[in-house]
Amino acid sequence: MNISRISLRTRLLGLIIIPLLVIVTALSAIRYSDAAKISEITSDKLLFSIAQVIARDIILTEGDLLTEELLETFTSTHGDQVFYHIHGETDTHLLTGYAQPPEPKGLTIQKFQPIFYNATYLKKDVRVVAFRDFVTATNGSGWVTIYVWQTNIARNNLLLDLAGRSLITLLIMVFLTALVVWFSINYGLKPLLDLQNSIQKRSPEDLTEIKRTVPKEAANLVDSMNKLFAQLKLSIVEKDEFIADVAHQLRNPVAAVISHAESAQRSKTPEQTKQRIDDTVDTAKEVGRITQQLLSMEHVSRKNLVAKLESFNMVSLLQKRLAAILHRADDSNTKIIFEDDHLSFMVMGQESLLGEAVDNLLDNALSYGCKDGGIITVSISSKKDNTVEINIFDNGNGIDQELMPKLFDRFTRGADVSDSGSGLGLAIAKKIIEIHDGTLTIESSIKGTNAKLLLPLSINNVNTQVFI
């Protein structure tokens, strides 16, 4: 059975009733044992009294058998048949009663001291009392041994009846307790059931805060649910805004692709057709680049932690990324300077993600800061707080100060609409740096723009020389 599918009320009822049933079973066993002991003591006293009555009657009648009326009286009074046997001290022949009494095993019959034992007589279980007594009569005196035994049928039936009644009483108490507990549990869980019904009646779009009063034990659960609703609501809003922004950003490039394609269809000369096709290809590449950045933005927006950590050399990463843009720098007459101390700075994270962040920063510096030529200076150094600092500086005209507060917002672009960027590069870079527990800041003036990255060094980082 799947325990997780059992209702809370059933669990609580089981946790209360099952131990209670165990206790009732133990109490019933104890009760039966006590009743058996008390019944045995009472029956033994009664049996000894019957034996004394029989002995006195025989003495008075000088050894005559007991009348059938007296034996019937004993049987009807106590419910079990009574037998007796008496023989002399020296002469062990039967004086009166039934022959072959059940003898005790391992017990000695004492004078004036009755002994009780269980035995079998005529294939029936019996309880026997035996004792020695001194008898004085007209025809003589002496010691006699007296046996009186009685069947156990009525006594056992009485014992079972008492135990059964006791068990029934306890079971009735358990049943009534179960009813009380069941209704108490239902009453106690009513606020949770009301909360469940309230949530079930909500529409899928309703993510408002739960304001229903709940018990103290459920308050943390409701608080967690409210926090989850708030996060879901924010996530949905951000998703809707992102989709709207994506549609807006892709609308113009897609329209341009269609326009160039239609122009190619209407071209009258091969030269015009080739030119229109080249324009279409360039525009399609731009659409592809924007789409890739949109996918990257969505990917890093959903990433709270770096999934696969690896230790790598940040200096080597910068060298690879700088080498990849050298041809673009040459085409735009831009000089690139890399300043490092020939040291190895080991960083823990995802090299591909941090490489994408560096690419975006270098692309911004090359496309906007030095689009008409200039100098891009990249430097890397360690700080005292076990971090590595990377600066990417371009000596361009700087960024409009009005744009600085929203520089890291998605789809933020400068006033020059001729720029082909998507406005996602800095937002992606900042998010990647943050999920690596780092920071990214941009400082800009008329003398140029500097992007400063701070990343924590790997614990096992060793500053070793790297020969280039």
Top-confidence residue, 296 or 345 = 345
For 265-276, what is the mean pLDDT? 82
Q: State pLDDT tens for residues 384-394.
A: 888 999 999 99
Share of the chain above pLDDT 90, in %: 9
pLDDT at site 467: 31
Residue ending a domain, among 254, 272, 299, is 299
DSSP E strands, 40-123: 82-88, 94-97, 115-121
Token digits for 354?
Answer: 């941090």
Q: How confident is the model at residue 305 (pLDDT cuts 50, 70, 90)?
A: very low
- Give the residue from 347, 350, 417 showing the smallest Cα distance to 386: 347
Regarding whether 155 and 11 lie in a shared domain, the answer is yes
The reply to whether 172 falls in a domain is no
Residue 378 clears pLDDT 90, i.e. is over it: yes
Is residue 440 in a domain? Answer: yes
Any domain includes 138: yes
pLDDT tier, 422 (very low <50, low <70, confident <90, very high otherwise): low
Domain assignment present for 186: no
The answer on 345 and 293 residing in a single domain is no
What are the tens digits of pLDDT across the range 143-182?
888 888 888 887 788 778 877 887 788 788 888 888 888 8
- Taking the CB of residue 280, how many other CB atoms lie within 10 A of it? 19
Q: Are residues 139 and 19 in the same domain?
A: yes
Alpha helices per DSSP H over 393-460: 425-435
DSSP summary character for residue 144: E
Cα distance between residue 183 and residue 17, in whole Å:
14
Q: Is residue 58 part of a domain?
A: yes
Range of the domain at 22: 3-160
CA distance 82 to 97: 11
Domain boundary among 268, 299, 330: 299
Give the tens place of pLDDT for each residue, 114-148. 999 999 988 888 999 998 887 776 566 678 888 88
Q: Which of 270, 299, 328 is the last residue of a domain?
A: 299
For 144, the token pair is 């006699």
Number of domains in the chain: 3
Tokens of 301: 């927006």
Tell me if 44 is assigned to some domain. yes
Phi, psi of 201, rounded to the nearest 5 degrees:
-80, -10
**3 state DSSP class of 154:** helix
What does the pLDDT look like over 274-291, one tens digit per residue?
888 887 887 787 777 667
Are 323 and 291 in a shared domain?
no
Residue 358 has pLDDT above 50, yes or no: yes
DSSP letter at 465 equals B
Does residue 419 sit in the same domain as residue 335? Answer: yes
Is 70 exceeded by the pLDDT of residue 414? no
Backbone angles phi, psi at 163, to 5 degrees: -65, -40
Cα separation, 376 vs 179, in Å, equals 82
Same domain, 39 and 60: yes
DSSP structure string for 354-371: HHHHHHHHHHHIIIIITT
Q: Residue 243: is its pLDDT beyond 80?
A: no
- Give kind and range of the element (H or E) at residue 381: strand 374-382
Q: Are residues 295 and 319 in the same domain?
A: no
Distances (CA, A) of 150 to 59, 69, 77: 21, 17, 12
**43 within a domain of the structure (yes/no):** yes
pLDDT at 402 over 70: yes
User: What is the mean predicted confidence (pLDDT) over 204-212?
Assistant: 80
Q: Are residues 347 and 415 in the same domain?
A: yes
Structure tokens at 347: 């960083």
pLDDT of residue 34: 81
Cα within 13 Å of Cα(199), Cβ side: 11
Examine the domain organization and report whether 281 and 341 are in the same domain: no
288 and 336 part of one domain: no
CATH number, domain containing residue 122: 3.30.450
CA dihedral 449, 455, 460, 461 (to 10 degrees): 0
The torsion angles phi and psi of 352, rounded to 5 degrees, stand at -65, -40
List the Cα angle 199/201/205 in 5-degree steps: 80
In a domain, 259, yes or no: yes
pLDDT digits 0-9 by tens, 177-194: 888 888 887 887 787 778
What CATH number is given to the structural domain containing 242?
Answer: 1.10.287.130
Query: What is the pLDDT confidence band of residue 245, given thresholds at 50, 70 and 90?
Result: low
Residue 313: CATH number of its domain: 3.30.565.10
Query: What single-letter amino acid sits at 286?
Result: E
**CA atoms within 13 Å, Cβ hemisphere of 281:** 6
- Co-location of 151 and 272 in the same domain: no
In sequence order, what DSSP letters do the residues of 329-351 get, joined into one string? HHHTTEEEEEE--SB--EEEE-H
Q: Which residue has the tokens 């030095």?
A: 370
pTM of the model: 0.49
In one-letter notation, the amino acid at residue 261 is A
Tell whether 290 and 331 lie within a shared domain.
no
